[in-house]
């Protein structure tokens, strides 16, 4: 009997794709939380153009309510950065607007997206060891899942949790990296590359397991796990399927590349090489850390399909 119970539980976890998700035409609004990858509050965004939520709002069309802010981590109590984190800034801002009547959304018609982790894992955080004592990848991913639970308790019902993209493929964390505006000090690039790969893969697996455990405890919730890691790995391996600029396709360089080398006599901090016009859409990355605008159009297209209730190879509905 115990064996059958365990087997049934494992089978339930192994077949999350049987969950239905949202219906076509159901979603009218979407609310975003995250960092510069998702911040649509300014232009040009971190991708050098419009952020992916802006495109998704157009593709839907959907009403966009963007609370994501550049530089954010999940919580500054876990990985401190002087930017607006989800837990201490973005969520309270959303809650205040909801409670005071500024923002009134039908929960059945609203999708909440959460894409966080890049800054938690990166420089001046887990990668370089400047985090709070005893904080690890477990705590920062537990925080991300906790955001979803808090939103559910406030009345939200439809969620997309976007996992962490393969940061080891960015220029900043590659084994061929160079001094740049995000980190101009000496470091072992091979060590960073290997460590970041492990952090990302472990973080994504931990998040999925936590979501699988949480989903059955949230009645009427529809939770999607979106595989940003898989999508960006596919862009990297098969750029011809995603990039469409007029320059040779490029997944190892970036639109705006700046090599920092301080010249003591002139004070010069280095030289930048910038792609212009339609050549920009040939690049996977905008700069040493951020996806290009073309990559963000791809993200917008895939997330839009999920919000429209369409079949999508990058999503798994857990409830």
Model confidence pLDDT, tens digit, residues 98-116 = 999 999 999 999 999 999 9
The helix/strand/coil state of 19 is: coil
In a domain, 267, yes or no: no
Q: What is the pTM of this model?
A: 0.92
Q: Which residues, in sequence order, are CB contacts of 119 under 8 Å at separation 6+? A: 35, 71, 72, 73, 79, 81, 83, 125
Higher pLDDT, 151 or 5: 151
Band of residue 63 on the pLDDT scale cut at 50, 70, 90 = very high
CB-CB contact of 300 with 56 (8 Å): yes
Of 223, 215, 66, 105, nearest in space to 158 by CA: 223
Residue 106 CB neighbour total at 10 angstroms: 10
pLDDT, tens digit, for every residue of 210-265?
A: 999 999 999 999 999 999 999 999 999 999 999 999 999 999 999 999 999 766 66
In a domain, 26, yes or no: yes
In a domain, 210, yes or no: yes
Q: Please give the pLDDT value at position 8.
A: 43
Band of residue 15 on the pLDDT scale cut at 50, 70, 90 = very low
CA distance 196 to 28: 37
CB-CB contact of 262 with 180 (8 Å): no
Total residue count of the chain as it appears in this document? 319
In a domain, 146, yes or no: yes
CA distance 284 to 30: 25
In a domain, 279, yes or no: no
Of 229, 210, 200, nearest in space to 126 by CA: 200
Domain residues for 300?
18-166+185-230+293-308
Which helix (H) or strand (E) segment holds residue 304: the answer is: helix 293-307
Distance of CA 218 to the CA centre of its chain: 23
Higher pLDDT, 316 or 5: 316
Q: What is the mean pLDDT of the chain?
A: 93
In a domain, 43, yes or no: yes
Residue 267 has pLDDT above 70, yes or no: no
In a domain, 318, yes or no: no
Q: Which of 52-56, 133-137, 171-175 shows the lowest per-residue confidence on average (mean pLDDT)?
A: 133-137
Query: b/e per residue, 130-151, with b = 16+ CB within 10 A?
Result: ebeeebebebbbebbbbbbbeb
pLDDT, tens digit, for every residue of 279-290?
A: 999 999 999 999
Of 105, 97, 160, nearest in space to 316 by CA: 160
In a domain, 45, yes or no: yes
Band of residue 1 on the pLDDT scale cut at 50, 70, 90 = very low
CB-CB contact of 277 with 270 (8 Å): no
Q: Please give the pLDDT value at position 268.
A: 57
**How many domains does the chain contain in total?**
1
- Here the CATH number for the domain that contains residue 109 is 3.40.50.1110
The DSSP symbol for 239 reads: G
Burial class (CB in 10 A: 0-12, 13-18, 19+), 202: middle
CB-CB contact of 217 with 153 (8 Å): no
CA distance 149 to 86: 13
Band of residue 58 on the pLDDT scale cut at 50, 70, 90 = very high
CB-CB contact of 221 with 157 (8 Å): yes
């Amino acid at each position: 009997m115990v064996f059958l119970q365990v087997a049934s539980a494992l089978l339930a976890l192994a077949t999350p794709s049987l969950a239905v998700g949202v219906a076509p035409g159901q979603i009218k609004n979407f609310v975003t939380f995250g960092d510069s990858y998702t911040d649509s509050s300014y232009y040009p965004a971190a991708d050098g153009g419009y952020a992916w939520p802006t495109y998704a709002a157009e593709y839907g069309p959907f009403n966009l309510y963007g609370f994501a802010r550049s530089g954010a981590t999940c919580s500054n109590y876990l990985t401190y950065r002087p930017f607006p984190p989800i837990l201490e800034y973005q969520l309270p801002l959303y809650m205040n607007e909801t409670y005071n009547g500024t923002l009134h959304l039908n929960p059945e018609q609203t999708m909440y997206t959460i894409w966080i982790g890049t800054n938690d894992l990166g420089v001046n955080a887990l990668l370089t060891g400047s985090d709070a004592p005893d904080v690890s990848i477990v705590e920062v991913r537990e925080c991300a899942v906790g955001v979803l639970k808090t939103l559910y308790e406030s009345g939200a019902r439809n969620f997309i949790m976007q996992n962490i993209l393969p940061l080891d493929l960015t220029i900043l964390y590659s084994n061929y990296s160079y001094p740049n505006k995000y980190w101009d000090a000496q470091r072992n690039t091979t060590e960073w590359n290997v460590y970041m790969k492990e952090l990302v893969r472990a973080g994504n697996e931990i998040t999925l397991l936590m979501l699988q455990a949480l989903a059955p405890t949230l009645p009427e919730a529809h939770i999607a796990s979106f595989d940003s890691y898989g999508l960006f790995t596919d862009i990297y391996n098969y750029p011809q399927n995603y990039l469409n600029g007029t320059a040779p396709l490029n997944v190892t360089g970036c639109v705006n590349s700046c090599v920092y080398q301080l010249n003591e006599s002139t004070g010069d901090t280095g030289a930048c090489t910038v792609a212009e016009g339609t050549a920009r859409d040939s690049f996977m990355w905008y700069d040493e850390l951020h996806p290009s605008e073309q990559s963000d159009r791809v993200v917008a297209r895939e997330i839009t399909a999920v919000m429209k209730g369409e079949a999508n190879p990058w999503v798994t509905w857990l409830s």
